[in-house]
A and B are shown apart, each in its own frame.
Chain A
Amino acid sequence: MLSLLARLLKALNSEAAPGQVAFGFALAMIPGFTPLFSLINLVVLLIACILRINFSAFLLGIVVFSAIGYFLDPLSADVGEYLLTLPSLTDTWTQFYQNDWMRISSFNNTVAMGGLVISVLLLVPVTLISRILILQYRKRVLNWVNRLKIVQALKATKFWSIYTKFAEYS
């Protein structure tokens, strides 16, 4: 079971270029800022799986942005409320509402709509900023991190050994 999981992660994490990591991290904003179990996030998961982005960064991003999303929800709700009740968009939303798949997406939920809009708007800026930070991280912090005891303890686990084994084979 661990081997299967490690093989999957290896396959997903093989894309380690700064841009791939940065986009994977930024893409996690969508599930982080919107209700987790939704059709939109299923689609986002599909994107994260089939695009050559770093999946670990995506998973880490979900954790980070979910925590931020907890505080951002009221703003998301306000934004969604504003957009969904905007008279000029009512016809559009009404047309969307007639479609089952659109309705499954929960677009008419204020937090989902607000969180989606905010995360989409921030997708590119966060990707660029993340890329810069990753470059700086690899250049200045990585060696220091590898020397941390907690990291060394993690590398001593069975899971890490299986992970690295598959990494070497690939």
Chain B
Amino acid sequence: MTKWIRWSGLAGFLAVVGLIAALFIFLLPFLIKSGVEFAGTKLAGAKVTLDDADVTLSPLGVRLEGLQVADARAPMMNLMEFDEAVADLELAPLIIGKAISNELSVSNLRFHTERETSGALEVVIEETEEEKSPSLKEKASEALPSVDEVLAKETLSTPGAGEALKAAWNENSQLIDDAFDKVPDDSSIAQYEEQIQAITSGRLESIEDFRERKRQLDELKEQFKQDRDAVRDAREVVRSAKTEVSAKLTELRQAPSEDLAYLKDKYQLSGSGVSNITGLLFGDDAANWAREALYWYEKVKPYLESGDSAEADSEKDEKAPRLAGRFIHFPSDDPWPDFMIRTARLTGPFDGGQLVISGKDITHQQTVTGRPTVFTVTGEGLQKIGDLDGRLVLNHTVGNATDTLTLAISDWKMAPLNLGVAGARLASSRVQLDATAEVVRGELDADLDANVTQANFTGEGQTLFARELNAALQGINNFNVDAGVTGTLKNPDVAFGSDLDRQINSAISNRIRAKQDEFERKLRNRLNEKMSEYAGEYAEELQQLAAMEGSLDDKLGALKDLASAELEDFKAQQEREAREKLDAEKAAAEEKARKEAEARKQELKDQAKDKLKNLF
């Protein structure tokens, strides 16, 4: 048997393997340092620096010192940094290139710290159009102009309507003057009446007398006819003028209302401008928080394999120099993904106490472990937060990956918060916050419920909106904020709901409505003043026109009555007089006969009495 064995070969093997192992252990710190910096830079999109990396052999592990991860969006800031991280490593998986640590401990973890040098990579990021556009707050902060500025700036219809009325009146007044020149005045009509009276009264002495009077009467009637035509024409002119001026005056009187409606709409005087105050106050900050969370999630997400990613791996492998094959994993209590930290504990100063982040089964290959990665966040001895309890579950064990975040913060004495709009500031408050977020197949569904108590708002804004908002906020102590986020990760749709809206609306609406009413009143007064400049005198003139029309009607009636007067002719007068004489004679004869009959009757009566007397 020994003739088959070559002991010198064993020595050579051990020497070569030992040499390689020693070289590997010697180079490992440099490999780890450069590997962390390279992979970290690629992940963060900004410089990642590590001061030192050490490898310990008993127990096998690594220690990283002074890691700084720059913020790609703010190169002079670090996203995070820590002083020291210590992790043990399992030897067996490490032999086949799998880094598995049972415990990772990170101390003095800090977020958003300042850097001494820029952490930017050589990439030029151009500002997008979206970033250049003014924010909602900037729009809301625009000052409301004064009434004078509005009236000077805007082209309104009130002055135009006034000018139109003026032009219509000037045109019609000339026509009226011309028409009235032909209309007889009251003295002329009185004179007509005297003349008629003189002609028609008194006895016609002769046929010549009759003829003379009739000629005079006919001449007067001809005059009456001309005068009546003149009055009718004048009345038409007045009526036409009255209609046109009246229409123009109506337009002028309506113009201020139309102008006011236009200005109210343009200068946001309506109450709808205060319908989403919560979104206005917290929208940008909430968007920043959400953007921060999504930023990290987007960074991590590509490294989280899902159950359906095996095919993608195979496709990727086919492009490799040699086919790498597929690892088929079997049930085990000790799965070996390429990288895993079984438990991690990260601590760092936070809010006067300590922030403790615990991680479990941290790996990018959950299909191998069959367990989701779970992070929990708690606070110890925090000054401004009563209880902090966060839990992030990244479940990519199956194809339908689900990532869930729950966060509960109680008795949070929130730091003074510049609301950034109208100079408003939430100086102090207590907040109870519950939030959940879930991402399934890239679809985001998140809810946040915050109950804010003991709220104390301050503000120094100078615009109408700022003054009224701050005044309204002064009276609000408690409010709830509900936020919902739906849509895709790339394009989330954030919606806010809050009873703060209702409270602010009820407060600010009354105040702003009063201010609006005042502004409207001033605006209306100024518009009415402008209208009165035109309409004032013409309204009086219009009344005169109406009086004129009535006067002309009276004159027309008087002339009509005068024209109906007639002169009795001479023959008719003779016949009437003869008939009157005959009737008088006839009446005298009948009286005489009646008297004679009564006398005869009395005589007969007396004779009868005498005869009776003689009998007795």
Contact = CB atoms under 8 A, between A and B. Distances in A.
Interface string A13-38: 00100000000000000000001001
B599 interface: no
A49 B330 contact: no
A98 B323 contact: no
B328 A84 contact: yes
Given A11-B8, A49-B9, 11 more contacts: A11-B6, A39-B96, A46-B10, A50-B13, A51-B4, A52-B3, A69-B322, A94-B330, A104-B92, A109-B328, A114-B325
Contacts of A76: 323, 325
Contact of B96 (A11, A98, A104): A104
B322 to A, nearest CB: 6
A110 to B, nearest CB: 4
B324 A111 contact: yes
Contacts of A98: 332, 334
Contacts of A94: 330-332
Contacts of B3: 52
B616 interface: no
Interface in B329-353: 329-332, 334, 336
B311 to A, nearest CB: 13
B331 A11 contact: no
Nearest to B95: A104
B202 interface: no
B589 interface: no
A77 B92 contact: no
Contacts of B327: 106, 108-110
Smallest CB-CB A-B distances: 3 pairs: A111-B325, A49-B9, A73-B323
Interface in B58-117: 92-93, 95-96
B5 interface: yes
Contacts of A55: 9
Interface in A103-136: 103-104, 106, 108-112, 114
B13 A45 contact: yes
A93 interface: yes
B330 A106 contact: no
Nearest to A113: B325
Interface of A: 8, 11-12, 15, 35, 38-39, 42, 45-46, 48-52, 55, 69-70, 73-74, 76-77, 80-81, 84-85, 90, 93-94, 97-98, 100-101, 103-104, 106, 108-112, 114
A55 B331 CA distance: 40
A46 B8 contact: no
Contacts of A100: 92
B326 A110 contact: yes
A98 B7 CA distance: 33
By size class, the interface of chain B is 20 to 34
B92 A49 contact: no
Interface of B: 3-10, 12-13, 17, 92-93, 95-96, 321-332, 334, 336
B418 to A, nearest CB: 57
Contacts of B332: 94, 97-98
A7 to B, nearest CB: 10
A51 B330 contact: no
A100 to B, nearest CB: 4
B95 A49 contact: no
A112 B325 contact: yes
5 contacts: A12-B9, A50-B6, A77-B323, A109-B324, A110-B328
B571 to A, nearest CB: 148
Contacts of B322: 35, 69-70, 73
B24 to A, nearest CB: 12
A49 B12 contact: yes
A93 B324 contact: no
Nearest to A38: B96
Contacts of B17: 42
A82 to B, nearest CB: 11
Contacts of A45: 13
B315 to A, nearest CB: 13
A130 B92 CA distance: 37
A35, A42, A81, A97: residue with the most chain B Cβ atoms closer than 10 Å: A97
A14 B328 CA distance: 42
Contacts of A42: 17
Given A94-B331, A112-B325, A39 B95 contact: yes
B183 to A, nearest CB: 119
B325 A110 contact: yes
Nearest to A85: B328
A52 B4 contact: yes
A71 B95 CA distance: 27
B324 A35 contact: yes
